[in-house]
Structure 1
């Protein structure tokens, strides 16, 4: 008699010989209550019972029928099946779930920081979705804590320094001891990761003080210590994925948030000096409008979106082309916005130091993280340190990685 004790995702790999076949099992999870395999088979119709194989990979029809039978016998196994399916193909996001939407934004911000730093880090796209449905009345989990770690070990290039609920307990290397205390009072969730590539170190952090229901949005706060350059990206959502719009007049937080962005731009401008490095845009504040996500994939793909500098965004607010909604309602969408930066253009401009502040100290970064958290926003933080190679060298490395 055989017992079904665990579930996992299996994938057939290249056959080793004519008589041997190799399967790889991943994302294995234990059932709370084992099931006698013959009991499941007996619940199938006569036609499918004869198709069930005693070993090896089942046909698609037989496999689906067995899973359906299992979930009738053990309804609690649905969460395990959902976890395995999400881990293997992608995590389905419920439109009404603020916690799951927050997780999608965290992931996008994490990938964006890596691209701003000019680093190729495939580990950032490999993650283990939560095993159970997320609740909006608790802080959403940190995406960084869900990064896939095979065999319980951190992937190459990934160093887990600390995961704590208070920043005071955070321990990271001497090179970034100035990060300690940046987030002030205790937070609901904190995570940091370190990556090393081409002689540079990239620290990516996440901090949040509120439950998913109370989160007002998310900010990317990226600081290049070598250039003394800060970039802040504030996320805003379109109302649908395909043909969605953002309606500024319906956003009760917008004016308060724009006031915050103006303040940080003025602060950065105060410290600007004639001898600073050239920038196409030396203000730190940017806004990304992006659609809500339906799936978080297992791939290095960012959420599509439109990037605007704070000044550009405010200029568009007065542009007649934006007021094309019903009754002259102002709205931002792909169909009516005359110009914007996409993911590739924006992250490339940050990487090449064409946008972002010049000459600012970490005091401004610390101040902005504090303001973001006090405003009820989640903070996705990037800190890059170490000498940079010339752009020609970085371009060569990029071509070699393709």
Structure 2
């Protein structure tokens, strides 16, 4: 599981001036360091030491490209200069537990903290510096304890909702790192995953109302409890709503409905969890719940097929049925990891072939789908490209029926994550390429 971490960077006197000039001019700095491993999908901090004895800055960081034999670029962004630099010896004095020795070595010589050392140093900095406590709030012991207190059913639903939001952001080609700011409520449970995001993202204003007006059937969602968030960049704006009729703990799952306003096309993804065993993940067949959902989707598909389609170049689709199933392993809800769950996407037609394939019948007459026996399937990176460019999804004229897809999801006891991809004038950070694995190089 990808976890947040921190790198301690000691800068030489010669590099300090370059650091200060770079930060002043563009808010970023890059330094060759000893090679290290860290998942790109997890947050990375940098504790910067300019005088050899104090942490003087705290910054966001990313693991960059190879910088020479055994070296790696550490890319630093938006460093915050501490008004009261924290003495390294003071941190070591207050540190407790078995991680103290390792943490002290890393603080003194530089490098990447172990996960436990990172947690211990964050907790110590929060004790001795109010300024650091504020900056490190989303890595604090209090936050970790609040997340750990969430019940298993709630964590499962939050994990599915996070996956739906991440998928929508990936389809829109936006940066997923805004989700790194997720925090649980101080009391109780969140009503949805969106409720834990920073206030700059979670919104309810005229912009959201305007975006809702572009989607057919949105009056049904607006009558329900829902949370909304806006993500912007790369000339696009993505408005995401999470709506449900039931409390979080009573939901049976989440469906993503992604509406591409440019192509007037929608795609719906239903997530199904695979079970675990020693030989790998599997999905047991038949699955009564999925069969009921497929009947609903097939009924809607018949309605879509009755709509007359205009033959224009913008209206062409490789596959015009908007309904897809994603099988993915049951997950531990980890709000710090912004990588999409590995999984397998299937169209309804493809799934029908799989469900009827007798080669999947086991020695005890049971049937199951695994990564090994299913053969061909669509993975995250390819599916993102298909959806982003509307190669799959409803035709323009069919999108008027999106309201029926929303109502079907809500009536089945599932939450609906509705994502509306529209044009925007704002630029933003480059998105993370889903083809990158956890240790893929930053392009710097």
With normalisation by structure 1, the TM-score equals: 0.69
Equivalent residue number for residue 414 of structure 2: 377
Q: 1:331 aligns with which of 365, 368, 391?
A: 368
Task: Report matched runs for 1:216-295 at 5 Å.
Answer: 216-240=252-276, 243-249=280-286, 251-273=287-309, 275-276=311-312, 277-295=315-333
Contact 2:183 2:196 in 1 (8 A): yes
CA distance in 2, matches of 1:82, 1:358: 42
The match for 1:141 is 191
Q: 160, 164, 167: which one pairs with 2:203?
A: 160
> Per the alignment, in what secondary structure is the counterpart of residue 213 of structure 2?
helix
Aligned equivalent of 1:104: 159
Deviations 1:163-219, CA, capped at 9 Å, x for gaps: xxxxxxx983434335552326433xx111122323332111101111344322210
- CA-CA distance at 1:12 after TM superposition: 6.5
Alignment deviations for residues 362-391 of structure 1 (CA, whole Å, 9 cap, x no partner): 531222112211111111111112399xxx
Structure-2 separation of matches of 1:24 and 1:241: 42
- The residue matched to 2:300 in structure 1 has which SS? helix
Q: Measured at CA, do residues 48 and 102 of structure 1 come closer, stay the same or move farther in structure 2, by a change above 3 Å?
A: closer
Distance 1:48 1:216 in 2: 41
Tell me how far 1:291 sits from its aligned partner. Answer: 0.7
- Taking the aligned partners of 2:391 and 2:289, their CA distance within structure 1 comes to 30
Residue range with higher mean Cα deviation, 174-183 or 110-119: 174-183
| Cα distance between partner residues in 1 of 2:219 and 2:389 | 29
Alpha-carbon distance in structure 2 between the residues aligned to 1:275 and 1:48: 66
How far apart, CA to CA, are the structure 2 residues paired with 1:127 and 1:212?
17
Matched, 1:16 2:59: no
Distance of aligned partners of 1:271 and 1:48 in 2 relative to their CA distance in 1, 3 Å threshold: closer
What secondary structure does 1:296 align onto?
Answer: coil
Give the root-mean-square deviation of aligned CA atoms: 4.5
Q: Provide closer, same or farther for how the CA distance between residues 88 and 182 of structure 1 changes in structure 2, counting only shifts above 3 A.
A: same
Distance 1:300 1:102, change over 3 A: same
Structure 1 residues 356 and 125, CA gap change in structure 2 (3 angstroms): farther
Equivalent residue in structure 1 for 2:175, among 120, 137, 142: 120
Distance in structure 1 (CA, Å) of the matches to 2:214 and 2:138: 41
- Tell me how far apart the structure 2 counterparts of residues 264 and 293 of structure 1 sit (CA, whole Å): 30
- Once the two structures are superposed, what CA deviation does each residue of 1:213-258 show, in whole Å capped at 9, x if it has no partner? 4322210011112211110111111012871211132x33222211
Distance 1:384 1:272, change over 3 A: farther
Q: Which residue does the alignment assign to 2:344?
A: 306
Q: 1:86 to 1:288 in 2, by over 3 A?
A: farther
The SS at the match of 1:332 is strand
Map of 1:71 onto structure 2: none
Alpha-carbon distance between aligned partners in 1 of 2:152 and 2:54, rounded to the nearest angstrom:
45
* Distance in 2 separating the partners of 1:48 and 1:219: 42
Matched with 2:140 is: 84
Alpha-carbon distance change, 236 to 90 in structure 1, aligned in 2, over 3 angstroms = farther
Q: CA-to-partner distance for each residue in 1:87-142, whole Å, 9 max, x for gaps?
A: 57995698x711110001111110100111222242034312444685xxxxx531
Task: Determine helix, strand or coil for the equivalent of 1:13.
Answer: strand
1:272–1:359 CA contact under 8 A, matched in 2: no
State the distance in 1 between where 2:180 and 2:245 align.
25
Over 3 Å counting, the alpha-carbon distance change for 1:240 and 1:20 in structure 2 is: same
Unpaired runs of at least 5, structure 1: 1-8, 27-40, 68-80, 135-139, 163-169, 389-393
Give distance in 1, aligned partners of 2:222 and 2:238: 21
Give, in whole Å, the separation in 1 of the partners of 2:159 and 2:242: 13
1:200 alignment partner in structure 2: 236
The Cα shift of 1:320 comes to: 2.0
Unmatched 5+ stretches in structure 2: 1-5, 9-44, 61-92, 109-113, 124-136, 426-430, 437-441
Task: Verify the 8 A CA contact 1:110 1:124 in the aligned structure 2.
Answer: no
SS in 1 for 2:55: coil
